[in-house]
Amino acid sequence: MNMTDTPPKPLAERMRPQQITEFAGQKHILAEGKILWKLLEESTIPSLVLWGPPGTGKTTLARILARSTGADFIFFSAVLAGVKEIRQIIEEARRSQLAGSSTILFVDEIHRFNKSQQDAFLPHVESGLLTLIGATTENPSFQIVAPLLSRCRVLTLESLQHDDLKIIFDRALHDSKNGLGELHLQLEEKAIDHLIAMSDGDARRLLNSLEIVSSLGIPNDEGRILISHDLVNDAFKRNNLLYDAAGEEHYNLISALHKSLRDSDPDGSLYWLCRMLKSGEDPLYIARRLIRFASEDIGNADPQALSLTINARQTYHMLGSPEGELALAQAVIYLATAPKSNATYAAYKKVMKDIERTGSLPVPHHIRNAPTHLMKELGYGKGYKYAHDSPHALVEQDHLPEKLNGTVYYEPTNRGHEALIKDRLTKWRKILSERELSKK
């Protein structure tokens, strides 16, 4: 190739749909009568935020929308540009407006803009100088400033399904102009299924993978390039699942794990644990969340849960991957099948709420320490009853500030070890109550 030749575009770019009829997937917004179908039919495009996983067609949709209105289309990457470039675009949009044209500004990865950069769009979106279409893989509620978000309509794109990806795959395989039709590829069905499964709902990943394996196949006597399942398997030893350790999917997966544990489902719990590990999540982060779960959702219903999760973390720290991950799996199954109680968590929250409401209430004098003569003269420790001097090591005396006397914070359940605690507290209260009655 001559050094001045332009390198060929990647297959994914060559196969990008130019018309909405070529678009695969997203029927929930593109089918007849749905929101995008109506917008395209009316050729009126408001400012939008397209939110969805990678490779679901956000950029392609933006280009098709701009083409349907005849507007000038400006592609802008939040990764590569800043406020200076925004100003240049604004000036260009003003010139287009004077010439009678409208401008659609497409901002890829808009979540990467900071607050001031996002604010720079506000007056121009509000005035109608620009129609903004932002693309993001992150939850707009957390990543886009409220004033800008309120001026945009959020459309959610979903991971592409198997049938959608198969359509995209077949087009690329047989298209002789933009695809790989001239190579006469012949793929085993297992190889196709593997490539589709490995793409994890991402059309770009699927086409990139197809392009890679197309260069690895061996031509047969008929000139067809054979792509076997073994070849695909060898080419892609590891399937990197959709995940962003700092993004929304991180929180979605840990939420799924937490709720599966709380609902006592060991199968669902183990599945979400393995999904996180397979996706590259830090196992020690998972271990920390399991330790929290042991206190928050199990508590004294099974006091061993906390010790076991701490031991699982230490085991992983000692062994590392992959051996240490089995300890996390053991902990997850234990937590899922343990009796559940949030009584400790609920009691803690009630106490903290009362402290916030009542402030620094004084410690009752009878349970204060009195190491000095002055303190004794002031009444510190006066009237304190030493539990070990009483039957059953039980005494009737208040331990809360006077304003909160009689408040019950901890209410154990009837589940697991907490049932024993509840029974014990009930017996103690009965003994004290009978003791008081006998004095009357």
Question: Would you call 15 exposed, middle or buried from its count of C-beta atoms within 10 A (0-12, 13-18, 19+)?
Answer: buried
Task: State the first-to-last Cα distance of the chain, in angstroms, to the nearest integer.
Answer: 107
Burial level of 119, CB count in 10 A (0-12/13-18/19+)? middle
In angstroms, rounded to a whole number, what is the distance separating the alpha carbons of residues 412 and 299? 10
Residue 186 tokens, joined? 């012949």
Structure tokens given for 247: 């993004």
Residue spans of the chain under pLDDT 50: 1-4
Which domains does the chain show, CATH number per domain?
26-156 (3.40.50.300), 162-235 (1.10.8.60), 248-337 (1.20.272.10), 343-439 (1.10.3710.10)
Q: Burial letters for 242-278: b for 16+ Cβ neighbours within 10 Å, e otherwise?
A: bbeeebbbbeebbebbbebbbeeebebbbebbebbbe
Cβ atoms of residues 401 and 407 within 8 Å:
no
Percent of all residues in the chain with a pLDDT value above 70, rounded to a whole number: 94
What's the pLDDT tens digit per position in 188-247?
A: 899 898 898 888 888 998 998 898 888 887 777 777 788 888 888 887 765 555 555 555
Report CA-CA distances (Å) from 32 to 26, 43, 116.
12, 15, 39
pLDDT at 325: 93
Pick left, alpha or beta for residue 184 (phi over 0 → left; psi -120 to 50 → alpha; otherwise beta). Answer: left
- The three-class DSSP label of residue 153 is strand
Pull the structure tokens for residue 146. 């409220």
Phi, psi of 265 (to 5 degrees): -110, 100
What is the pLDDT, as a whole number, of residue 6? 57
What is the Cα–Cα distance from 355 to 187, expressed in whole angstroms?
68
From residue 19, alpha-carbon distances to 22, 65, 93, 108, 392 in Å are 6, 9, 25, 20, 83
Res 245: pLDDT: 52
- pLDDT at 321 (0 to 100): 83
**Helix, strand, coil shares, percent, the chain, to 5:** 55, 10, 35
pLDDT of residue 229: 86
Q: How far is CA 201 from CA 21, 162, 195, 276, in A?
A: 20, 8, 11, 17
**CA 346/CA 406 separation, integer angstroms:** 17
- Nearest CA to 264 out of 345, 311, 326, 334 is that of 334
